[in-house]
Amino acid sequence: MRIIAIDPGTRLTGYAIFEINNRSSTMTECGEVFVRGKDLPEKLLAIHRGIERLFRRVKPRQVVIERPFVGVSARDALTLNAARAVCMLAAAISKARVFEYAPAQVKKAVTGNGNAPKELVQHYAQVTLGLRERPEPDVADAIALALCHVNRL
């Protein structure tokens, strides 16, 4: 079974692809969908096209995405939710089942600390998977989402 975990963003959208076989999991790919465009509609279209291409190529059965986090700015939260919605739409079109986890839940599952900073999530993603380089923050968040989900299967 293939799982794609997505960390949506309007600048970069991180993703991680895991293959699950008999209780073992392997990350087969990770990366970023680069978002281009001047205004929000153009950026959302770029996210949708990139994620849809990824789904057509990989054909995931499950998609994991982070629950919304309001944080500092309500405006940023609304923009992020628009990006999430585009990713969820692509998942629905591909008939993949969507799972959501709260940011603190993901951080706690991966680092043991629900308030862990991004750098620690990056470190744990690198160490847990034996990666040569520390993944970019958006990719590390997607990896953490996938690990959180895989540990619950």
- What's CA 88's distance to the chain center, in Å? 11
Whether 51 contacts 41, CB under 8 Å: no
Out of 7, 19, 100, 141, pick the active-site residue.
7
Average pLDDT taken over every residue of the chain? 94
pLDDT reading at 83 higher than 90: yes
Out of 19, 39, 66, 136, pick the active-site residue.
66
Band the pLDDT of 73: cuts 50, 70, 90.
confident
Higher per-residue confidence, 74 vs 27: 27
- The yes-or-no answer on residue 66 being catalytic is yes
Hey, what amino acid is at 78?
L
- The yes-or-no answer on residue 138 being catalytic is yes
pLDDT of residue 70: 66
pLDDT of residue 71: 67
Out of 19, 39, 136, 138, pick the active-site residue.
138
pLDDT of residue 78: 87
Rg (the chain; Cα; Å): 14
- For the segment 43-63, the average pLDDT, to the nearest whole number, is 97
